[in-house]
Structure 1
Amino acid sequence: MNTKLFSRLVFALFMVSTAALAADGLPLVVVKPHAVDLTFPAESLVEAVQQATVGAQVAGRVLEVKADAGQSVKKGELLMRIDAREAEEAARAAEAQYANAKVSYERTKNLVAQKFMSSAALDKARADFDAAGANRAAAGASQSHANIVSPMNGIVARRHAEMGDMATPGKPLFTIYEPGGLRVTASVPQYRLQEMRRVTTARVEFPELGKWVAATAVKLLPTADATTHVSQVRVSLPEVPEATPGMFARVHFVIGQAEKLTVPAAAVLRRGEVAAVYVQTADGRLSLRQLRLGDAVGQGEIEVLAGLAAGDQVVTDPIKAGISLKDLSGKK
């Protein structure tokens, strides 16, 4: 026997066997046509609006680590200390060169005043003195870069170096983000661009958190990727404490409204390709009704194409309904 046909027969027998059982104390919703948002979904990732990667500016071994991933930090707070003895020696050498250039400049200036040297020699001594001063300032700045401090108030998203690692100029050490400002970036295919230019509202779904939030702004970026032919859409979020950069999210862009008969997605019971809901009849009994479903609409709702009528009472917790049916079956 065909597997699909067999599953449908089993499901039909199950519906008949449960149709006469009474339902008491189950959560219900009365279905009826109502205005729902028409949306199209797009996969996206959460990212921070304000984020900084702190890198090393001097070479040296990491001597001390004061912060770790997930830690809140203040602007100017010490995050890491690098062994900067090489920078210290360079600073001392620059200081000595500066002192020597200063003495040479003063001596040359006196000799030029006594007409023992030309003004060209004074110009060269002045240039050497200025260069030595600039070199001293640069060496002093490099020495101060041994202490790595936070450039902003935020949370450490990632630490890229461990104690004992060798830091080199340009090597990332910390990634810090400001938790109050998050957004998601979604990729939209080219054929959707015309309707996307009219989109002003969206809802963002966090499947792992079981949470939906309304976007505060939707911005279509003016460029498209030459390889994939998709455009980026930035969707600003309100404050979502549980969300972190890199988390998966799904953006539902609202493109219009329509009257539809819907049922909560959580109320749908699925057996292979067959979908059904528990319906409480007028005499208080429970019936398992097979449905033909359309697309997901609104917020956690699914369009019903066939199987339900306006005014039907649907059980929103099919697991609890199944438990109730087992209990009632055992009593009979």
Structure 2
Amino acid sequence: MQHLPMARFTVCHKQLLANGQTGLRWHCVKNPNNRGHAPCLLLEISNIRFSEFVPGTGEIMKLLTRKLLTAALMMVASAGAQAAELPFETTRLAVHKVERYRLFEGTVEAVNKSTVSAQTSGRILAINFDVDDFVKAGEIIVRFSDREQKAAVMQAENTLNLARAQRIAAEQDFKRVKKLFASGTVSRARYDTAKSSYDSAVANEARAAAALKQAREQLSYTIVRAPYSGFVVERHVEIGEVANPGQPLMTGFSLEKLRIRADVPEQYARAIRKANRARVVLGEGKTIKVTSLTVFPFADPKSNTVTVRLALPDGVKEVFPGLLVKAAFSTGTTEALTIPARAIARRGELTGAYVIDSDNRLHLQQIRIGRKYGKDGIEVLSGLAAGDRVALDPLKAAIYLKKSTGSENE
């Protein structure tokens, strides 16, 4: 029996896609060692091999060749169209230089927190606000009895009027003596006496005016106003009590200006001071930008920590005094593999991404993610590598994968 040559058809799928061409490469190989076997037609398409042993020669060989050639062209065209038309956007992952952060706990403080004290003595007539009440800046919070202060004002006004009259009389006398002294009618001693009386009257008037101003100031202290808008957190007096200067009346704080106080280990103080960047991390991935950062120039010898103050933007609503929060301090830069947040697929407890391999095949790859970097970058700890191609729309990728799997099963 005559041994026929082996006809081999090869479709180089990857090469054809790269070159943008579709074609077949055919060659015959004579194998002298292939004795006792029928000639074999071998077809390779995208690493999938189809073989059929064909006994016989001549027209049968030509017919099978045409059929296999037509089938190969159809499969390559179908695979090329499937590979080129993905109904979703993709991106390739890369390693980026990102900031390295360290998280430490901190406590929110009010920048404006103070205790209002009495500046004059008197009996308390009215207390207009209590604990947890909101007070606007300039509103009256406590009112004192003002009888003594009003009497002092009246007395000071009378003293000022008397001093002013004496100053006017002394001024007129000094002007008359000055003219007489110039004409040589009066002596030098009389001129000096008149001038001294006038200077003394001017000083007495100024002293009386200062006393009146002080008396009026004491009268204004009988009405205590809020220095800024905020909430009352503690009340120290009751109606009817007699308060003395310096006695605490009411304590409050403002929510308009807040800051965070954090104690960080001393080994991180130098890096934090150098980077001078931080943010406040809240729940559900929310963050608050820090406007300024102050690192204290000394450490606590007992705890070996350094205090850091973080100023928050004015009018921030997400935090309040006394709240425990996490502060993320920048300590330098590092390299990390990141993936866009919208490319992450979550299926229950599974976190993954739809990956397109080198053969343009789609599959769901489980990954482990880390911190968030920037506005849309999530650190990939494992499961992916730089250069991997992922789908940006997990929902469309899942639908496409399901349809593709179903059509293959059919």
Same fold (TM over 0.5): yes
**Residue 88 of structure 1: SS of its match in structure 2?**
helix
Which of 256, 260, 264 is equivalent to 1:188? 264
For 1:299-321, what per-residue CA distance to the aligned partner results, in whole angstroms no more than 9, with x for missing partners? 8xxxxx9xxx859xxxxxxxxxx
Contact 1:215 1:236 in 2 (8 A): no
Q: Which residue identity does 1:64 align to in structure 2?
A: A
Say if 1:211 and 1:46 are closer, same or farther in 2 by CA, change over 3 A. farther
Aligned to 2:198: 122
- For 1:213 and 1:83, how far apart are their aligned partners in 2? 50
Q: After TM superposition, list the pairs within 5 Å mapping 1:258-273 onto structure 2.
A: none
Q: TM-score, normalised by structure 2?
A: 0.49
1:219 offset after TM fit, Å?
1.1
Which of 156, 164, 188 is equivalent to 1:94? 156
Aligned to 1:202: 278
1:170 offset after TM fit, Å?
3.2
Which of 286, 289, 301 is equivalent to 1:215? 289
- For 1:212 and 1:61, how far apart are their aligned partners in 2? 50
Contact 2:128 2:140 in 1 (8 A): yes
Contact 1:98 1:132 in 2 (8 A): yes
- Which segment is superposed worse, 72-81 or 238-247? 238-247
1:233 offset after TM fit, Å?
1.8
Contact 1:66 1:79 in 2 (8 A): yes
Say if 1:240 and 1:113 are closer, same or farther in 2 by CA, change over 3 A. closer
Q: Which residue identity does 2:312 align to in structure 1?
A: L
Contact 1:204 1:251 in 2 (8 A): yes
Contact 1:105 1:125 in 2 (8 A): yes
Aligned to 2:237: 161
Q: After TM superposition, list the pairs within 5 Å mapping 1:1-332 onto structure 2.
A: 39-115=101-177, 118-205=194-281, 213-221=287-295, 223-225=297-299, 230-238=305-313, 239-241=315-317, 243-255=319-331, 256=333, 298=371, 310=383
5+ residue gaps, structure 1: 1-33, 261-277, 281-296, 300-304, 312-332
1:111 offset after TM fit, Å?
3.6
Say if 1:226 and 1:236 are closer, same or farther in 2 by CA, change over 3 A. closer
How many residue pairs get matched? 242
Say if 1:129 and 1:62 are closer, same or farther in 2 by CA, change over 3 A. same
Contact 1:73 1:155 in 2 (8 A): yes
Say if 1:85 and 1:192 are closer, same or farther in 2 by CA, change over 3 A. same
Higher relative contact order (CA 8 A, sep 6+): 1
Percent identity between the aligned chains?
Answer: 27
Q: Which residue identity does 2:127 align to in structure 1?
A: V
1:159 offset after TM fit, Å?
3.4
Say if 1:180 and 1:298 are closer, same or farther in 2 by CA, change over 3 A. farther
For 1:219-254, what per-residue CA distance to the aligned partner results, in whole angstroms no more than 9, with x for missing partners? 133522575564332223355535322333332324
5+ residue gaps, structure 2: 1-94, 178-189, 338-347, 351-369, 373-380, 385-410
- For 1:123 and 1:100, how far apart are their aligned partners in 2? 15
Say if 1:67 and 1:120 are closer, same or farther in 2 by CA, change over 3 A. same
Contact 1:200 1:217 in 2 (8 A): no
1:105 offset after TM fit, Å?
2.1
Aligned to 1:288: none
Say if 1:144 and 1:215 are closer, same or farther in 2 by CA, change over 3 A. same
- For 1:211 and 1:107, how far apart are their aligned partners in 2? 80
**Residue 63 of structure 1: SS of its match in structure 2?**
strand
Contact 2:264 2:308 in 1 (8 A): yes
**Residue 100 of structure 1: SS of its match in structure 2?**
helix
Aligned to 2:358: none
- For 2:171 and 2:301, how far apart are their aligned partners in 1? 66
- For 1:68 and 1:222, how far apart are their aligned partners in 2? 36
**Residue 137 of structure 2: SS of its match in structure 1?**
coil
Contact 1:91 1:140 in 2 (8 A): yes
1:53 offset after TM fit, Å?
4.1
- For 2:126 and 2:170, how far apart are their aligned partners in 1? 47
CA RMSD of aligned residues (A): 4.0
